[in-house]
Amino acid sequence: MQLLIFILAYPLLWIISILPYRIFYGFSNIVCFFVYRVVGYRTRVVRENLKLVFPEKSDAERKKIEIEFYSHMCDMFLEMVKTMGLSKSEVKNRYAVENIEVLQEIEKEKSVLIVCSHYANWEWNVSINNYVDAKGYAVYQKVGNPYFDKWVRQVRARWNTTLITSKDTVKTVVRNNNNGIRGIFGMVSDQSPQYHRAQYWTEFMGIKVPVINGAETMARKMDLAVIFLKVSKVKRGYYKAQLIPITTAGASTEKNEITNQFLRLTEQQINERPEHYLWTHKRWKHRGKTPAAFL
């Protein structure tokens, strides 16, 4: 059944990927109408999140963010499909890295951990590997359908990127270090951890919640450099990225220092253009709870 679903879906994905951009974004408008206006995909979650995070904004202001968010979300997910046929020259034009020399200098000395949030187009973040010599890795969650999972890995491999799961990340770093191989590791780090596994609670967008600190744990243990990837949407289909160093020596940082800096930079990014954050996730679902360690 999973193979049949892939066989039926793949031709449609391929057709979408080769559409001229004018038609491509027109199709995105149609998808957005059905997702938002007809189906109402997670509109309740989005509205609750926006009201929770931006209580000072009026209903009209939050509604404007909501509408713009759904338009961006549909663009972004379809742009993931567009990746199938996107050349290196084309992605460099549509995803510009303003200060790649920051990463190029650090990667000469040691492995680097790049952390980012579910903001703008995180799928195209892996194209940064086109600019560096070190081997690129992206930490991801395996797709349930093995055929789609293989397809996703093949698509991203075109940009010098190997997908690895979170449980394989540490042993990949260790193996590389033992063999004198430098690597660039990309992680999306703003997810909500499982309640019983949460080790650190702090404020995110003014609300106390558990946060993931796996990136910091690995950086401190392996003495990795850590860079925050700030991405902005310039206009439809065009993004620019800025690399903001958090530390060049993870082992020398204090506990929670990397995590806190990441959260502050993510908050700044969200406040600048909130419509480009992924509001459909239940990021603040554990608010108001007592940390499991104290139960």
What pLDDT, in 10s, does the model give residues 214-269? 999 999 999 999 999 999 999 999 999 999 999 999 999 999 999 999 999 999 99
Q: Is the dihedral of CA 172, 178, 179, 181 positive or negative?
A: positive
Strand 200-204 and strand 135-139: the pairing is unpaired
- Give the Cα separation of 179 and 122 in Å (integer): 30
Half-sphere exposure of 119 (CA within 13 A, CB side): 25
Partnered with residue 228 across adjacent β-strands are: 115, 244
- What digits encode the pLDDT tens for the residues 152-208? 888 877 787 888 988 888 889 889 888 888 899 999 999 898 888 888 999 999 999
Whole-prediction pTM: 0.93
Identity at 196, one-letter amino acid code: H
Cβ pair 196, 294 in contact under 8 A: no
| The pLDDT value given to residue 59 | 97
Q: Name the helix (H) or strand (E) containing 231.
A: strand 225-235
pLDDT of residue 115: 97
pLDDT tens profile 86-134: 888 899 999 999 999 999 999 998 999 999 999 999 989 988 988 888 8
Contacts of 163-168 with CB under 8 Å at 24 or more apart are: 163/137, 163/138, 163/139, 164/137, 164/138, 164/139, 164/140, 165/139, 165/140, 165/141, 166/139, 166/141, 166/214
SS3 state at 255: coil
**How far is 24 from 27, CA to CA, in rounded Å?**
5
Token pair in block for residue 41: 């995909």
